[in-house]
């Protein structure tokens, strides 16, 4: 038996499997109600339109679509994306655009291009677990910045202090990673003021901002706030913001197609990195999504997805209000977009333990809050997805969740009572 | 203007763009006859069958095919691949199999999991440029092993000596990378004896072998020789061989789907690495290829592709014999499979310079031989693709190639004459 561990790279030894991907496997068990995954609602998938677009590719572009393509991405798809972003006020040339095999690949590319072992990334506490995994896989570190109690963005004092300390310790900070629109996992949206403040901070310290915006178009309440990428374009335009987008939430995740917008100097470096990673992104799928976008139906598609999610989000918030125990302080975000809300239990609760009971006893799953921290995790929160389940399942799942939480809190109280006023002894 | 270069990782600063990808851009210019790319023949793509299979996915599996999938790969596709490999005598469980976004991603995963900066990979001189790019992007090094004059595999004495020297210098060798079936770029096939000798060498030094087999099924002359992966299975079965396969050459490259076969302990590490790279491979495409494979048509498809390539290969060999100048020693391989042949010019010739004249003056392109060396490249060879062009184009391309080579050789001779017997002075 060969000892492979002795052969692995230091990076490989530092890699962590994803808690979420492991939890997702549970969603395959039909008896489990899963609020764990970040799965879009399958009923939103425009199957007939997508089929028509795919047929069009076979009929019109087969020889090109089934062949190798360029690393930069398909020209037709790029043209459609430039138009799509243009409608949102984003000004883009094809040199500023790279098609990727969905956003996770973009995160991997960014880490590979910027991070030497020990380098820091500034990111939220909590933040997207897939971004943390990528950073870990290059032995990067995270300077975690807490959000304000108003949940409008970073605590800027904590950012200034944390940054100064890190630099003073002789460490290098390479970039800032944020998800200003319906932050994963917490679901809230950064204010315009906080976006501007972060941009100004990044200018001051010559830092690149990686703005991850998978949910930007999935806003079902309120008006859009300019992205940090847009703020840079409309302001000093230093070209130091990179914006990551994907079809995963606005259309379908199974296509694994996303795009990266950024300064040409970075995009061309990303292209070289991507060449060695996969030569090019799935060519057929690029042509397919380009054909679909040419129909102009994506706009109505996004609107109807937003309508669907608004209803589910309202339903989940209502169900939480109806079923969650009132005796203890339990809070949840009420997001204006995205796919998740973030539920916080009293400090003494540990969702890492709770999740096992939830799955085994009540057949309901969520993602433990601790998964979203690079280090020193908070243990009393959970991420709950509202996009995937239908409304009756949301009600049943919240009921189950409320039961397991109530039981745990009552057990805690009983234990405390037992400690403070021992009875029958 | 921000200086991004100062922010890049050491790995990023070491990355090299691909000569081939740059050359491929030229193939878009219609006046150029390109023997450069490794493009399969578009006329082999079974468009109608693929369309029917895609339609089947929309009709039967849309909700799953358009959703996120597992990192390990689609169960249906894995079952089909296990059956496909089984017919070739490869014994496989699903735990030994990982679906990847084509072989280049597998090469990236392998490098990420094994290589610390400065670690060595044993590989051929010449070898696949995409493998070299991946290694460079992790700052790995290559111990280049020449092939025997008979072109049946590594010069084993050179391997023993090179390995001993590397270890003696205190360097670590992490794995062996080979393409035993119709080696890219040279097109020849390893003998059974050399495959066994390499396996025995790897056992003796506890080294993993990464056997890259994109062309294995594209054999149009002669009988298949067991892969090193099979030899391990049928012999000591130490489970130290990893075999990379892809649909790119046996069906279509535009799907960007490949598979990795290996010991469970490595496959599960690869899965963790892949999670942080792209979460999962294109789900729709996996279901699509699974539906296509279920029809059983892949076997006849491969046979007809082999028929097509045999004819083109024979035609190209005939045209080379017809048009290449006879006065100098010009040699080319006569491969029994794959997509390429390797043409060697007299030692004093430099194809790095020749390629520019070929493109500008004669509108014909090839890949310079020097691209296929990690260091100390040979400069007098070129890789020529015969799969993509039709037969008249092959003839015209070879004619042009012969013209530019003849002109260069005559100029060299004239120069030499001028030097040795100066006339008119």
Q: Would you state the pLDDT for residue B247?
A: 98
pLDDT tens for B312-325 read 999 999 999 999 99
CB atoms B102 and A58 under 8 Å: no
Q: What is the DSSP letter of B15?
A: -
Q: What tokens does A351 get?
A: 């969702």
Residue A224: how many CB atoms within 10 A of its CB? 15
Report whether B383 contacts B342 (CB < 8 A). yes
Report whether B381 contacts B135 (CB < 8 A). no
Q: Would you state the pLDDT for residue A124?
A: 98
Contacts B106 to A, Cβ<8 Å: none
Q: Would you state the pLDDT for residue B425?
A: 46
Contacts A137 to B, Cβ<8 Å: 112, 273, 276
Nearest CA in chain A to B109: A277
CB atoms A68 and B238 under 8 Å: no
Q: What is the DSSP letter of A246?
A: E
For chain A, what is the radius of gyration of the CA atoms?
22
Q: Which of A272-286, A374-388, B14-28, B173-187 has the lowest mean pLDDT?
A: B14-28
CB atoms B130 and A18 under 8 Å: no
Q: What is the DSSP letter of A81?
A: H
Q: Would you state the pLDDT for residue B369?
A: 96
Residue whose entry in the numeric block shows the structure tokens 């949206």: A189
Q: What is the CATH number of domain A48-297?
A: 3.40.640.10
Sign of the four-CA dihedral B291, B297, B303, B304:
negative
Residue B141, sorted as left (phi over 0), alpha (psi -120 to 50) or beta, turns out to be beta
The count of CB pairs under 8 A between chains A and B is: 254
Contacts B280 to A, Cβ<8 Å: 256
User: What phi and psi, each to the nearest 5 degrees, are found at residue A103?
Assistant: -65, -30
Question: What are the residue ranges of helices labelled H in B324-390?
Answer: 351-362
What string of DSSP letters covers A367-417? EEGGGG-SSS---SEEEEE-SSS-HHHHHHHHHHHHHHHHHHHHHHHHHHH
Which helix (DSSP H) or strand (DSSP E) does residue A121 occupy?
strand A120-125
The alpha carbon of residue B54 is apart from the nearest alpha carbon of chain A, in Å, by 8
CB atoms A25 and B113 under 8 Å: no
What string of DSSP letters covers B222-245? S-----HHHHHHHTT--S-EEEEE
Q: Is B389 on the interface with A (CB under 8 A)?
A: no
Report whether A156 contacts A177 (CB < 8 A). no
- Burial label, A412 (beta-carbon count in 10 A; 0-12, 13-18, 19+): middle
pLDDT tens for B250-273 read 999 999 999 999 999 999 999 999
Contacts A42 to B, Cβ<8 Å: 62-63, 66-67
ipTM for the complex shown = 0.95
Confidence of residue B27 (pLDDT cuts 50, 70, 90): low
CA count, 13 A, side-chain hemisphere, A173:
26
Of the candidates A9, A67, A285, which has its C-beta nearest B253's C-beta? Answer: A67
Q: Which of B254, B257, B284, B292 to mutate to test the interface with A (most CBs of A within 10 A)?
A: B254
Of the candidates A108, A239, A279, which has its C-beta nearest B102's C-beta? Answer: A279
The alpha carbon of residue A289 is apart from the nearest alpha carbon of chain B, in Å, by 12
Q: Answer with the residue of higher pLDDT: A41 or B25.
A: A41
Nearest CA in chain B to A138: B112
The alpha carbon of residue B31 is apart from the nearest alpha carbon of chain A, in Å, by 18
Report whether A198 contacts A228 (CB < 8 A). yes
- Burial label, A28 (beta-carbon count in 10 A; 0-12, 13-18, 19+): exposed
Average pLDDT of every residue of chain B = 94
CB atoms B66 and A42 under 8 Å: yes
Q: Would you state the pLDDT for residue B17?
A: 76
What string of DSSP letters covers A7-33? GS-HHHHH----HHHHHHHHTTSTT-E
CB contact residues (below 8 A), chain A span 337-356, against chain B:
none
Confidence of residue B416 (pLDDT cuts 50, 70, 90): confident
Of the candidates B9, B51, B282, which has its C-beta nearest A115's C-beta? Answer: B9
Of the candidates A67, A101, A115, which has its C-beta nearest B101's C-beta? Answer: A101
Q: Would you state the pLDDT for residue B424?
A: 44
CB contact residues (below 8 A), chain A span 263-282, against chain B:
263, 265-266, 269, 271-273, 275-282
Alpha carbon distance B165, B163 (integer Å): 5
CB contact residues (below 8 A), chain A span 122-151, against chain B:
130, 133-134, 136-138
| Whether pLDDT at B151 is above 80 | yes
CATH architecture, range B47-297: 3-Layer(aba) Sandwich (3.40)
Q: Is A253 on the interface with B (CB under 8 A)?
A: yes
Contacts A278 to B, Cβ<8 Å: 101-102, 104-105, 108, 256
| Whether pLDDT at B20 is above 80 | no
Alpha carbon distance A178, A184 (integer Å): 10
CB atoms A206 and B130 under 8 Å: no
Nearest CA in chain B to A205: B2
| Whether pLDDT at B330 is above 70 | yes
The alpha carbon of residue B67 is apart from the nearest alpha carbon of chain A, in Å, by 5
CATH class given for the domain over A7-36+300-418: alpha beta
Q: What tokens does A342 get?
A: 């973030």
The alpha carbon of residue B115 is apart from the nearest alpha carbon of chain A, in Å, by 5
In angstroms, what CA-CA distances link B254 with A130, B126, B265, B282?
A: 27, 26, 30, 12
CB contact residues (below 8 A), chain A span 23-82, against chain B:
24-25, 37-40, 42, 45, 47, 50-51, 54-55, 58, 62-63, 65-71
* Three-class secondary structure of residue B208 per DSSP: strand
* Three-class secondary structure of residue A84 per DSSP: helix
CB atoms A116 and B9 under 8 Å: yes
- Burial label, A415 (beta-carbon count in 10 A; 0-12, 13-18, 19+): exposed
CATH architecture, range B4-45+300-420: Alpha-Beta Complex (3.90)
Q: Which of A257, A276, A387 to mutate to test the interface with B (most CBs of B within 10 A)?
A: A276
Residue A127, sorted as left (phi over 0), alpha (psi -120 to 50) or beta, turns out to be beta
The alpha carbon of residue A65 is apart from the nearest alpha carbon of chain B, in Å, by 6
Residue A59: how many CB atoms within 10 A of its CB? 11
Q: Would you state the pLDDT for residue A240?
A: 96
Confidence of residue B420 (pLDDT cuts 50, 70, 90): low
Q: Which of A212, A267, A284 to mutate to test the interface with B (most CBs of B within 10 A)?
A: A284
Of the candidates B7, B116, B238, which has its C-beta nearest A174's C-beta? Answer: B7
User: Which residue ranges make up each domain of chain B?
Assistant: 4-45+300-420, 47-297
Q: What tokens does A314 get?
A: 């309202």
Of the candidates A9, A51, A105, which has its C-beta nearest B58's C-beta? Answer: A51
CB contact residues (below 8 A), chain A span 177-236, against chain B:
206, 208
Contacts A132 to B, Cβ<8 Å: none
Q: Would you state the pLDDT for residue A144?
A: 98
Contacts A112 to B, Cβ<8 Å: 9, 11-12, 137
Q: Which of B63, B68, B172 to mutate to test the interface with A (most CBs of A within 10 A)?
A: B68
pLDDT (tens digit, 0 to 9) for every residue of chain A, 425 residues total? 678 999 999 999 998 777 766 766 766 688 999 999 889 999 999 999 999 999 999 999 999 999 999 999 999 999 999 999 999 999 999 999 999 999 999 999 999 999 999 999 999 999 999 999 999 999 999 999 999 999 999 999 999 999 999 999 999 999 999 999 999 999 999 999 999 999 999 999 999 999 999 999 999 999 999 999 999 999 988 999 999 999 999 999 999 999 999 999 999 999 999 999 999 999 999 999 999 999 999 999 999 999 999 999 999 999 999 999 998 999 999 999 999 999 999 999 999 999 989 999 999 999 999 999 999 999 999 999 999 999 999 999 999 999 999 999 999 988 877 665 554 44
Q: Would you state the pLDDT for residue B166?
A: 98
């Amino acid at each position: 038996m060969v000892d492979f561990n002795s052969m692995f790279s230091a990076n490989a030894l530092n890699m962590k499997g994803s808690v979420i991907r492991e939890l997702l496997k549970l969603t395959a068990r039909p008896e489990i109600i899963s609020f764990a995954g970040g799965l879009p609602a399958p009923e939103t998938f425009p199957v007939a339109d997508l089929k028509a677009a795919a047929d069009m590719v076979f009929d019109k572009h087969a020889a090109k679509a089934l062949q190798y393509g360029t690393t930069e991405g398909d020209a037709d798809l790029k043209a459609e994306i430039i138009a799509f972003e243009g409608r949102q006020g984003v000004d883009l040339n094809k040199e500023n655009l790279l098609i990727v095999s969905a956003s996770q690949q973009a995160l991997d590319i960014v880490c590979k291009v910027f991070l030497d072992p020990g380098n820091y990334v500034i990111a939220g506490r909590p933040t997207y677990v897939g971004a943390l995994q990528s950073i870990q896989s290059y032995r990067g570190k995270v300077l975690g910045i807490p959000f304000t109690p108003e949940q409008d963005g970073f605590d800027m004092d904590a950012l200034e202090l944390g940054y100064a300390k890190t630099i003073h310790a002789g460490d290098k900070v390479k970039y800032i990673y944020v998800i200003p629109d319906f932050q994963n996992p917490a679901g809230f949206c950064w204010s315009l003021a906080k976006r501007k403040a972060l941009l100004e901070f990044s200018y001051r310290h010559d830092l690149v901002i990686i703005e991850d915006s998978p949910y930007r178009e999935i806003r079902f309440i309120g008006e859009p706030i300019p992205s940090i990428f847009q703020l840079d374009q409309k302001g000093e335009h230093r070209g130091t913001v990179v914006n990551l987008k994907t079809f995963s939430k606005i259309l379908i995740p199974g296509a694994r197609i996303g795009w990266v917008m950024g300064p040409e100097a970075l995009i061309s470096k990303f292209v070289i990195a991507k060449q060695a990673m996969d030569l090019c992104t799935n060519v057929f799928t690029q042509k397919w999504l380009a054909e679909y976008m040419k129909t102009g139906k994506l706009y109505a598609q996004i609107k109807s997805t937003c309508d669907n999610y608004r209803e589910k989000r309202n339903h989940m918030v209502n169900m939480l209000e109806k079923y969650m125990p009132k005796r203890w302080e339990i809070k949840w975000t009420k997001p204006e977009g995205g796919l998740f809300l973030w539920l916080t239990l009293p400090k003494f609760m540990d969702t890492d333990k709770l999740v096992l009971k939830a799955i085994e006893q009540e057949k309901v799953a969520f993602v433990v809050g601790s998964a979203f921290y690079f280090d020193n995790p908070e243990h009393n929160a959970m991420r709950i997805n509202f996009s995937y389940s239908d409304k009756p399942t949301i009600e049943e799942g919240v009921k189950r969740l409320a039961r397991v939480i109530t039981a745990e809190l009552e057990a805690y109280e009983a234990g405390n009572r037992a400690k403070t006023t021992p009875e029958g002894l």
